[in-house]
Every structure is written in structure tokens, then in C-alpha cells.
Amino acid sequence: MPASVLEKRAAVGDVATVGYATLNGGTSGGSGGTVTTVTTLAALTSAVTGTAKKIVIISDTDCLKGQSLATLSSKLARTRQSLAQKDLERFGLTELAALVGVGLRVLDESNVIIRNVKISKVLASAGDAIGVQASHQVWLDHLDLSSDRDHDKDFYDGLLDLTHGVTGITVTNSKLYTHWKASLVGHSDSNGAEDTPITVTYAGNNWFNLNSRTPSFRFGHGHIFNNIFDNNNDGINTRDGTNQPLYATDAGFAVATGNDFGGASNTAPVGTFTKAPYSYTLLATSSVRASVTANAGQTLTF
């Protein structure tokens, strides 16, 4: 992977340099917009509405607890604790932001970046920890997403769900762990007309102590490289016409490249999607574990 994916030092103006988020004009966020600091959930919810470029800084995450969703209509939210960005706007959270019971949703937007945010224990009644729906050109980087496995599988929903025809999505350098249903791509077997165009890249992520959906694809194309997978009950699940170059189970197809499955074997039928439509550098499998362990999660400074 390029060095820019692995560096812990980051800037508010960083743009996506890996995966599907680099195509179709790229994913650059809304740098150059106004800066707003928020200390309450109500203020955050208000700050990420509208269409103007903006940077939202969350300065006190102790006030951002509960069971709720903040919906991004396009922005870079940025907090001394996490960072995200968007072209028309920018939503981001920078450095050590920890949202407990508060999820983020990107709905019907384009050119969004969310970086360095930690989210945990979002109840199913509130939604996913992060949900991206009907959106395009979204970069999700250095996330820390978790809950617990002390409850049944429907107590929480997904950690990172990408649905309703999303395209140009890149998920990098993130930790998804201690949860039942990690990451769903495509929400329904009957939604092929909308979901077949889905394009998602997962690179440099750490998946561990998960029951399922690591990730689970319906339709579309997924490129998953240089990830590590440990102590999960189910592998990458391809189904309903997915071509995904990686480890898989169920009735889809996969071409496995450059991942560390923690000693598990690849049992998926080989697919035909063998070349991603963008350039990237693949770490040797023997180097993946050290790199991902050192870099994945909420590790950035700005």
C-alpha cells in the first residue's frame, strides 16, 4: 500500500489515495470551508446539515453519548478527536473522538470523508455505527468500531453498512471488532437493480472477534487486500452475483490476494474479477500483520 495509507500523521486536507474512492474525480472532502466547534449532540446534528463547505470540530465527546444518529448531508466533520470530509461540505472528527451510542449516517451524498473516529455500542433501534446509503465517493479511514457480544445478534445492528447502490467507497486502516454483524454491503437479495453497481475497496483493516459479515457482499464489486482476520466465526461472505477478489464463503466468487486470514483457508470458488480498475501497491502477505496491527484504528494526529 502507498505510504500515505500507513502514516499516522495526517492533515485536514488529505484526499483519498487508494481504491474506488480515487475514481470519478476522486474524494477530496470540503477543505477550505468554515470551522465550527461543537460540544453537544444537538450542535453536531445541526452542524452537519446544509450544503456549505465546513469543518466541524467536536471538542467534548463526553457530551456526545446516547442512542442517536447524526446524518451527514455532505461535510467534513472534524474534532480534536476525529476527522471526516466532504466536497460540498466536510464532515470529520480528528484525533481521539469517541462516540458512545451515537452513529453517523451518510445519506444520498457525494464526496465525503470520515477519519479517525471511534464509535461503540450503537443500539439497533438507533441504526448502524456508520451507515452509508445511496452515496458516492466516500472515504472511511482510521475508524475504531465495536460493541460487545454480551447480547443477542440483533441488539446492535451493523458496524459499517454500505447499501442502496453506493459507489466509489474506500475503507482503510480501520478496526472492526467485538460485534455480531460487522459490515454489510448491499442490504437485500431483492435489491439487485440498485445494488449491482456497488464498488467498495477494503485495505489495511483489522477484523477480529466478529460473528459474521467480515464483510458480507450482495451484488457489486469488492476489492479487499492487505487486511487481517482473527477469531471470527464467519469469513468474507460473497452472495448474489458478487465478484470479489478475496476470501469468500457462500454462493459468490472470489480471487484471494494479499490477506492474512489468521491461518484459515480460502474455500471460495474462483471468480473472474482479477484486476482492480485503479493502481495500488500490494504488501506481501508476510508483512500485512505487522503493518495493519501498527496502523489500523484511531491512530492519527493532525
Residues belonging to the active site: 213
Contacts of 195 (CB under 8 A, 6+ apart): 163, 164, 165, 186, 187, 188, 218, 219, 220
Contacts of 98 (CB under 8 A, 6+ apart): 61, 81, 118, 119, 120
Contacts of 159 (CB under 8 A, 6+ apart): 128, 129, 130, 145, 146, 147, 176, 179, 181, 182, 183
User: What's the rounded Cα separation, in Å, for the pair 161 and 10?
Assistant: 25
The answer to whether 255 touches 242, Cβ cutoff 8 Å, is: no
The answer to whether 141 touches 113, Cβ cutoff 8 Å, is: yes
The answer to whether 122 touches 102, Cβ cutoff 8 Å, is: yes
User: Which cell goes with 97?
Assistant: 473522538
Cα separations in angstroms, 166 against 69, 114, 268: 19, 16, 24
Name the 3-class secondary structure at 195: helix
Taking CA 297 as the corner, what is the angle to CA 293 and CA 301, rounded to the nearest 5 degrees?
110
Taking CA 138 as the corner, what is the angle to CA 257 and CA 228, rounded to the nearest 5 degrees?
30
